[in-house]
A = this chain, B = another copy of it.
Amino acid sequence: MSNPSLNVPSLKVHADDNVSIILSAGGVAAGTRLDTGTVLRDDIPFGHKVALVDIGPGEAVIRYGVPIGIAKATLPEGSWVNEHMIELPEAPSLASLKSPDVPPRPLPPLDGYTFEGYRNADGSVGTRNILGISISVQCVAGVVEHVVQRIRSELLPIYPNVDDVIALTHSYGCGVAINAPDAIIPIRTIKNIALNPNFGGEVMVVGLGCEKLRPEMIMTPGDQSASKMFLQDENLTGFAAMTDDILQQARSHLDRLNQRRRQTCSASELVVGMQCGGSDAFSGITANPVLGFASDLIVRAGGSVMFSEVTEVRDSVHLLPNRAANPQVVQDLIREMRWYDDYLARGGADRAANTTPGNKMGGLSGIVEKSLGSVAKSGSGPISDVIGPGERLKRKGLTFAATPAGDFVCGTLQLAAGMNIHIFTTGRGTPYNLPTTPTIKVATNSALATRWFDLMDVDTGRVATGEITVEEGGWELFHFILDVASGRTETAADKLGIKNDLVLFNPAPIT
């Protein structure tokens, strides 16, 4: 922490705010005078909030122009405002959400942007050309991972146009009570992942033979390029026969995948999944607004964008109905929020369980402040649709894809929805990467971007320092997305070869 100094800038997001954010790396010391005239009463860390006026007990702490909490005791001007000093307001009432009298105006179209992608028979476009091997039950995961190593070393060298082979393994087993009401979520997730555009319609399913979830249940009827096999097949004697059989099937898929070439495609074929992980107080003023601007550009270009993470949207949900393209969107938002409220309550938790110690060290004083920052990712355009966890996207434009906020669970569900580009913002830093989908990692602050120079793709900390505007950052990200989608640019995490497993969302009990 530096010594007290004069005319130090801080960041006030909205004219009505009674707090601002400390921008100085390392924080500022008590006695420092801000350029607003406020003199600090406490040492305040980087990214944390200072009271700009006296806030009385019971009065709201205002950031982004809305209450993020209620002061427990007087917060005098110049004092540090953190999670210990405020109570969370009630979550917005779902029953009072109403569709707008006047539907929101669509964003102006944006023409002429393209990327080089792989066109699929179903009309979707892949950004990678990957052989995905799905499984119907966790029992076969070890064998499939074994075979994938062999395919990677023995076959991929002779199929140079195929980018990779990925075992789409998961922890779904016969333990999952298949007829429990919520079991539909992991089942449709597995089914829809196989339809992701990056697998080119070459669905390959390895089953065991005695499982509850039959491979047929996770394959699309009439799909000609699909194949399946069972390890318990009575014609397969021993392990070598099993693995040779899988290898043999893989060859026919690889033959077809290897014929494919990238073609120029409209930016309207982008399907972008946005999420954040390890947020800090900058998430809501740098990275997420930049994503919001880029989101608007993609929507204007006719593409598809998802924002997700129910527990981070819950406290800002009252801000969304005005953006609903039609009344059904509001009804569907209420349905998904209510389902999640009930799901958490059934397990003795609520949305406040979302925030982490890292969020709080990063300056976020609770789920309301985190939420207001998180929804900035959704930009300003109309919300065209809402889908449930594990469902496929149904419409272009901006969709709220309801998912948990847990990073790999959210990413896996966006994958099932049909995502071909993933954007992930982080303030604290996480080495997150999906093996199936280019994952662009956006730092919310330059300190992280500098320290993790080879793990981060984009530094939006430059917005806080005034180096670039949100608009400039948004255009830069948009062009970066087109480069990554085209295979011209490899993401930082792909260069390093980090590969995380998919993680299913299973709210159903297991036996």
Contact = CB atoms under 8 A, between A and B. Distances in A.
Contact of A511 (B349, B357, B361): B349
Given A429-B231, A431-B140, A505 B499 contact: no
B362 A501 contact: no
Interface residues of A, number: 84
Contact of A357 (B182, B211, B503): B211
A266 interface: no
A178 to B, nearest CB: 7
Interface string A150-193: 00000000000000000001010111111111100000000000
Main secondary structure of the interface of A (DSSP, over half): loop
Given A142-B498, A509-B507, A511-B405, A212 B171 contact: no
A451 to B, nearest CB: 5
B174 A237 contact: no
Interface in A477-497: 493, 496-497
Given A452-B238, A498-B146, A507-B509, A210 B139 contact: no
B232 A429 contact: yes
B510 A505 contact: yes
B353 A404 contact: no
A238 B509 contact: no
A508 interface: yes
A177 B505 CA distance: 14
A138 interface: yes
A347 B180 contact: yes
Nearest to A361: B210
Nearest to A455: B239
Contacts of A169: 501
A353 B180 contact: yes
Given A349-B180, A354-B511, A141 B501 contact: yes
A358 B211 CA distance: 6
A347 B311 CA distance: 21
Among A139, A178, A348: residue with most chain B CB under 10 A: A139
A210 B353 contact: no
Interface stretch (A98-106, A394-402, A406-414): A406-414
A418 interface: no
Nearest to A504: B171
Contacts of A225: none
Contacts of A236: 451
Indicate the member of A171, A359, A362, A503 with the most B CB atoms within 10 Å.
A171
A497 to B, nearest CB: 6
Contact of A171 (B146, B277, B359, B503): B503
Contacts of A76: none
Contact of A510 (B139, B231, B404, B493): B404
A334 B216 CA distance: 39
Contacts of A501: 141, 169, 171, 501
Nearest to A171: B503
Contacts of A141: 500-501
A344 B180 CA distance: 9
A479 to B, nearest CB: 25
A503 B237 contact: no
Contacts of A405: 175, 511
A176 B182 CA distance: 18
A433 interface: yes
Given A429-B232, A454-B238, A501-B501, A179 B346 contact: no
A505 B511 CA distance: 11
Nearest to A230: B429
Given A141-B500, A173-B406, 19 more contacts: A138-B408, A139-B430, A142-B431, A142-B493, A142-B500, A181-B348, A210-B358, A210-B362, A212-B357, A232-B429, A242-B431, A344-B509, A344-B511, A346-B509, A347-B508, A351-B511, A353-B511, A406-B511, A505-B510
8 contacts: A138-B406, A139-B431, A139-B432, A173-B409, A176-B406, A212-B356, A237-B453, A238-B455
